[in-house]
Amino acid sequence: MLKISTIESKTRRQLVLEGKLVAPWSAEFRIAGQRAATGLFGRELVIDLKSLTAIDDDGKTVLDELMSRGVRFVHCGLFTRQVLKQLARDAREKETKG
């Protein structure tokens, strides 16, 4: 199960994820991320990953897509931080290989 909450402020829109970022819920998160990215009017899109308990390959793909769009991730636990670092390394390697 994955719960996605939205917090709006003057400077940012924040999506808070709780639970497991695994199929089929990763597809729901992809849709929520796309919707959240529209109508920002200069605000920043931030994803809070503090309460994630699991991430599968589908979830990693969605996180990678959001990273490539410049979305900022906050409140990451140790496991989630390592997943994001690996995704960033993989993206850099793809860029250098061309």
pLDDT digits (tens, 9 = 90+) for 15-44: 999 999 999 999 999 999 999 999 999 999
Q: What is the mean pLDDT of residues 84-90?
A: 93
Tokens matching residue 16: 């808070």
CA dist., res. 80 & res. 77, Å (int) = 5
Element containing residue 20 per DSSP (H, E): strand 12-21
Q: What is the mean pLDDT of residues 41-67?
A: 95
Q: What is the pLDDT of residue 94?
A: 85
- Global pTM value: 0.88
> Does the pLDDT of residue 98 top 70, yes or no?
no
Q: Give the alpha-carbon dihedral of 40, 74, 62, 57, to 10 degrees.
A: -170
Q: Are 62 and 30 in contact (CB under 8 A)?
A: yes
Q: What is the pLDDT of residue 3?
A: 98
